[in-house]
């Protein structure tokens, strides 16, 4: 009986593994060059950790279990709660600012669909301990730094930026009670996913008055920061939030990435813990779900039992990113083919043992080297070397027995030369393994 993979998971055969490694290597490279340090945590945590952050409804969206001691656990659906727990454990000894990144494997018990699986990888970057909105700008810059490195231009993607602080101030100014904000955030977050008439009707049902619904809709339709004053009555809270947004956009302009960024008040981010700047990365055509998203969460560490410390973070999943890169034709051209440094062959089975010796010596010096298990004729071994995309082929023949010489064949040009084995080895610079 053939057993298929679980729905919503992936098998990573070598070609798929090459894509995964390339993507994760890029995430790590960009993180390090932007000053972030890597961390990780356990694949499962206490269930209550995720309930603290997202409420009891999160239980339906993750894989939970009881261990043999009856403790309620969950496979991590995200890593931010783990980050908060880890920082709180050593909060007094960690130097600030804390700039950490991670590439965890995550699992969510949801319906698989295009760009959304039950198991996936996610790039997370967080800056903790910086009140300034420059930290938000740096987080957005680092996100763009990776996306442009892989060839995505402002014609391909947009970073849509808004402010939860601004939205809260606007909602309070039109008469929405603070207790109703979280419920309204969840609805407003669905604005772009619902037909306009459906959204307007649901909004009216939530706020109860047409005048309030009209003011909220007017704000949500604003196309630039300059238009905010025309859509709502400004007060001190709204003004402070606008200044913060303007500072972020000014910083991104100085960093040279302003052309990627737009103001979009419909970016709400559904989770209640966001407190300030929020953003999402979308394909310019808008056909795919968000590639990445994040924002400021100044209360999260306090909610996990630590002190009130400012923080801002971003998460980018591999599934939608891969879809977009394939759609733009940017993936295969950057992966490159498997490349062997050397393929070791013999012209006579008498030298089979020497073949293993030479291959082992090359490997010990940090070079990739392979050989044929089939012990067939030289022509078949050369075909195998070509199939494995070897740069050079070492041929061990009678010359080795007579004068300790090897034939080195360049597989690109076809040129071949005899070299002394000892001189060949001494001329190889050791590589890092």
Residue range 341-399, pLDDT digits in tens: 999 999 988 888 899 999 999 999 999 999 999 888 999 999 999 999 999 999 999 98
Q: Does residue 313 come out as left (phi exceeding 0), alpha (psi in the -120 to 50 range) or beta?
A: beta
pLDDT exceeding 90 applies to what percent of the chain? 67
Alpha carbons within 13 angstroms on the beta-carbon side of residue 222 total 25
- Stated pTM of the model: 0.90
Residue labelled with tokens 């920082």:
87
Task: Give pLDDT tens digits for 220-261.
Answer: 889 899 999 888 888 899 999 999 999 999 999 999 999 999
Task: Give pLDDT tens digits for 97-123.
Answer: 999 999 999 999 988 888 889 999 999
Q: Which residues pair with 75 in a beta bridge?
A: 44
**Cα(133)–Cα(180) distance, integer angstroms:** 27
**Cα(387)–Cα(187) distance, integer angstroms:** 55
CATH 3.40.50.800 occupies which residues in the chain? 338-426
Q: Which two tokens stand for residue 39?
A: 């961390």
Task: Give pLDDT tens digits for 30-80.
Answer: 999 999 999 999 999 999 988 876 656 566 788 999 999 999 999 999 999
**Cα(307)–Cα(138) distance, integer angstroms:** 24
Fold category of 338-426 in CATH: Rossmann fold (3.40.50)
Contact predicate 129/98, CB 8 Å: yes
**Cα(141)–Cα(253) distance, integer angstroms:** 10
CATH 3.30.930.10 occupies which residues in the chain? 14-41+79-333
Task: Give pLDDT tens digits for 182-207.
Answer: 888 888 888 888 888 888 888 888 88
Residues 6 or more apart in contact with residue 112 via CB below 8 angstroms:
7, 8, 118
Q: Which two tokens stand for residue 305?
A: 């039992």
Contact predicate 38/101, CB 8 Å: yes
> Residue 232: its pLDDT value, please?
85
CATH number for the domain whose boundaries are 14-41+79-333: 3.30.930.10
């Amino acid at each position: 009986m053939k057993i298929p993979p679980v729905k919503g998971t992936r098998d990573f055969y070598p070609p798929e593994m090459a894509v995964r490694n390339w993507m994760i290597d890029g995430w790590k490279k960009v993180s390090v060059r932007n000053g972030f340090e890597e961390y990780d945590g356990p694949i499962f945590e206490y269930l209550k950790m995720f309930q603290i952050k997202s409420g009891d409804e999160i239980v339906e969206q993750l894989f939970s279990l009881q261990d043999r001691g009856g403790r309620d656990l969950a496979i991590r659906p995200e890593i931010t709660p783990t980050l908060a727990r880890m920082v709180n454990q050593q909060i007094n000894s960690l130097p600030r600012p804390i700039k950490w990144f991670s590439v965890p494997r995550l699992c969510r018990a949801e319906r698989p669909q295009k760009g959304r699986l039950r198991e996936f990888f996610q790039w997370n970057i967080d800056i903790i301990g910086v009140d300034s909105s420059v930290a938000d700008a740096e987080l957005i810059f680092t996100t763009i730094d990776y996306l442009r490195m892989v060839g995505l231009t402002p014609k391909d993607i947009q970073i849509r930026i808004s402010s939860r602080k601004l939205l809260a101030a606007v909602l309070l100014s039109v008469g929405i009670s603070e207790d109703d904000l979280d419920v309204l955030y969840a609805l407003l977050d669905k604005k772009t996913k619902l037909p306009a008439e459906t959204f307007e009707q649901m909004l009216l049902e939530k706020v109860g008055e047409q005048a309030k619904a009209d003011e909220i809709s007017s704000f949500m339709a604003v196309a630039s920061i300059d238009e905010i004053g025309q859509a709502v009555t400004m007060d001190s809270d709204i003004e402070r939030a606008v200044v913060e947004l303007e500072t972020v956009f000014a910083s991104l302009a100085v960093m040279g990435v302003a052309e990627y960024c737009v103001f979009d008040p419909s970016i709400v981010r559904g989770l209640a813990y966001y407190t300030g700047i929020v953003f999402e990365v979308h394909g310019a055509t808008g056909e795919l779900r968000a590639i990445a998203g994040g924002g400021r969460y100044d209360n999260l560490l306090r909610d996990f039992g630590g002190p009130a410390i400012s923080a801002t973070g971003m998460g980018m999943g591999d599934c939608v990113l891969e879809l977009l890169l394939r759609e733009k034709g940017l993936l295969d051209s950057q992966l490159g083919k498997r490349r062997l440094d050397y393929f070791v062959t013999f012209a006579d089975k008498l030298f089979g043992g020497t073949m293993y010796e030479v291959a082992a010596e090359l490997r010990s010096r940090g070079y990739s080297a392979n050989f044929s298990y089939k012990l067939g004729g030289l022509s078949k071994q050369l075909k195998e070397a070509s199939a494995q995309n070897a740069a050079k082929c070492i041929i061990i023949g009678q010359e080795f027995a007579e004068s300790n010489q090897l034939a080195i064949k360049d597989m690109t040009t076809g040129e071949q030369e005899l070299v002394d084995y000892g001189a060949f080895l001494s001329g190889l610079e050791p590589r890092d393994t």
